[in-house]
Each structure stands twice: as C-alpha cells, then as structure tokens.
Structure 1
Amino acid sequence: MTQSDHSQLERVNNQIVSEFSKTLEMFSLNKTEAQLFVTLYLNEAPMTLDEMKESLGKSKTAMSYAIRRLLEFNLVERVWQKGVRKDLYEAREDLYKKFMKTYVNRWLASLNIQINNLAEIQEDLTHYSDSHKELFERKIQDAIFFHRSLEEVFSSIKKNDFL
C-alpha cells in the first residue's frame, strides 16, 4: 500500500468516526465516548487503552473514563487474549438493539424520577392557598400526563421485542 493510499484510508476512517459519532452523541454519549465506540467498532481487533489513546490522540485518563462509561452502557466488552497482559476491549455487535435498549432504559429511569419529583411538587402545593395554585396544579397535571405518555411509549417499545 502506498503512502497516498494509507493517507486516503486514514482520512476516510476519520470521516466515518466523525459522522458516526455525531449520531451516537444523540444517545447521550459525550464526544469522546462516541468517538471511542466508533473506533472500537471499526477496529478489527480488540484494543488496549494505550492503543485507544494513540488512535484518538486523547489522554489515557480520558480513555479510561470513556471505556468505563461504555462498559456501564453495555456497549463494549472486555475480552481476553492469551499472552496479552493488558485489558483489551471491543465494541459489541448488534448496534441497534444495544443502543435502543440503553436509550429506552435511560429514558424510563429518567421519566420515573421526573414523575416522582412532579408529584412531590404537587403534594407541596396542597399546603398553599395562593391565587396561582390552580394554575400550577393544572400545569403540573399536564406535565405528569406528558411524562406518563412518554413512559407508555418507551415501555411499549421495550415490551414489543424492538429490543
């Protein structure tokens, strides 16, 4: 392979990492996490933290933090290779299911917290007799209805084997 071909392939690889990672950022991954996932996904072999650092030009600390977050989301896995003493990581396959499962579960957890917080605010309103109380109660009811509607949609996605 000529130097020109290698440079061209490197440029294409960088474009793929850049564009694909933009999509992954919509799933609440930060830029480094998204770029690391795409790098692992495109790499044919598992990578060490040092290789990730070299590939992305980031610090080993940044790679360590990003890989821990990707492990938490179940998007990468630690793998073992005979004779290799350092930890190796690779991207999990079946991207759609992994990202959707992570995304839906995060939405459901967040919606549950928000519904509980709104209910607490609503409960606190019972102690007041202000002229705005009815307006606030109605707005909170609307917000709770909105959150419960979203909860139904995400629960339906989770139940209907989309994941």
Structure 2
Amino acid sequence: MADKHDERARNAIDEAQAFVIDSIAETMDLYGVTRSAGNLYGTMYFEDDMTLDEMREKLGMSKPSMSTGVKKLQDYNIVKQTFRKGTRRQTFVAEKDFFQFFTNFFTKKWLREAKTNLDAINKAQHELDELLELDDLDENLREEAILTYRQIEGSKPYYHWLQKLVASIESGEIFDLLPLEDDRL
C-alpha cells in the first residue's frame, strides 16, 4: 500500500515540477532565450547541481545543445559552474533566488536595449545634423529631418530612465521603493 502512495506522491511531485519548468521555459522564451535553454534552467532549478551528462539524460538533449544552453545561461549569470567532490566533471547550479535571477537576467537585457537604441539614435542624429547643415536642402526635406530628429530625441528619456532603473535594481535601491515580501518557507 505504501508503494502505491509513494508512486502517486512521486508522480504528483514530478507533475508539479513539470508545470513550473514549462512556465519558466515559456517565460524565458518570451524574453528571447530559447525554450530549450529555459527548460534546462527550469530543470536545474530543482536540482542541487548537474553535470552535462546528467542534464542530457534528464532532458534528452545532445551534449552540444546542453553545452550551448549552459553557456547562454552562464552569460546571464543565472547558472554557475560548481565543484562536486569526487568528480572531475564540470557541474553547474542554477540561481534559485528569483530576485537575483531577475536582477541578473533582466538588467543585462535592458542595458543592451538602452545601449543599442541610444547608439542608433546618436548615429541617426549625426546623419540628420549633417543633412540640416546643407544650405540647398529642400524645405520639405528639412522639415521632415527636423521632425525625425525631434521624434527620436523624444525617445531618449525612456532609455535614460531604463538605465536608471537598471542601476536602482543593481544597487538594491529599487527594493526601498518596492520592498520584498519575505513569505518564503
């Protein structure tokens, strides 16, 4: 009788973890990380640490796919290489604190967004500045260039705000404005 209960309990735990893993993978996919890397992170979230072979066995992915996924997750600083006593194989552990995950994952994406767009705006404005210096520029084109310049100038406050948001998250100041509720078990 106990075996039947244990089997039912094991199935319930596995199903509960599968729901969360699938949700994590879907969420990460929304933010540009492949679903397979999201599944990998979600799976690692429930493990102490894992080797590439253990990941491959659990997820049925190829070793190169595992390696690529782990590298991507390491780039976001949400998976770290660890050392397991008694083995020479590389082991990896997922960030389990979702506040730290949020900080590591989203700040990198947001900083990249701000930098990419501010660089493009600066290049575009430089082009428009050179165009507006021309004496013989058609007046309709001049007006369009000025409107374009103003429009892209108007987007700069958003990217500067995004950079400040990232700085407040990285410094922890954001948590003064939005305190953490510590309902952890």
Instruction: Tell me, yes or no, whether TM beats 0.5.
Output: yes
Cα RMSD after superposing both structures: 2.4
Unaligned runs of 5+ in 1: none
Question: Which letter does structure 2 place at the counterpart of 1:141?
Answer: R
Q: For residue 17 of structure 1, what is the aligned residue in structure 2?
A: 21
The Cα of 1:38 is off from its aligned counterpart by 1.0
Instruction: Give the C-alpha shift of residue 19 in structure 1.
Output: 1.4
Which of 144, 149, 152 aligns to 1:143? It is 152
Q: 1:42 aligns to what?
A: 46
Q: Report the Cα distance in structure 2 between the residues aligned to 1:72 and 1:96, rounded to whole angstroms.
A: 17
Shift of 1:5: 4.2
Q: Is the 8 A contact 1:108 1:155 kept in 2?
A: no
Residue identity in the other structure for 1:13: Q
Match of 1:32 among 26, 31, 36: 36
| Greater relative contact order (CA < 8 Å, ≥ 6 in sequence) | 1
- Of the three residues 89, 94, 106, the one matched with 2:97 is 94
- Equivalent positions of 1:49-68 (< 5 A) are 49-68=52-71
Code of the residue aligned with 1:143 in structure 2: it is I
Deviation at 1:34, TM superposition (A): 1.2
Q: Deviations over 1:23-77 (max 9, x none)?
A: 233343221111111111112x211111111222211111100100111111011
Q: Percent identity?
A: 20
Q: Distance in 2 between matches of 1:84 and 1:18?
A: 30
* Shift in Å, 1:90: 0.7
Give, in whole Å, the separation in 2 of the partners of 1:101 and 1:82. 28
Which stretch shifts more, 90-99 or 100-109? 100-109
Amino acid paired to 1:95: F
- What is the TM-score when the length of structure 2 is the normalising length? 0.74
Q: Is the 8 A contact 2:74 2:80 kept in 1?
A: yes
* Equivalent residue letter for 1:49: L
Question: Alignment partner of 2:84: what SS?
Answer: coil
SS of 2:103 mapped into structure 1: helix
2:114 counterpart of 1:111: yes
1:21 deviates by 2.1
Aligned residue in 2 for 1:121? 124
Partner of 2:178: none
Tell me the TM-score normalized by structure 1: 0.83
User: 1:91: how far off?
Assistant: 0.7
| Amino acid across the alignment from 2:84 | Q
Q: Structure 2: any 5+ residue segments left out of the alignment?
A: 176-185
- Determine the structure 2 residue equivalent to 1:158: 167
How many residues are treated as equivalent by the alignment? 162
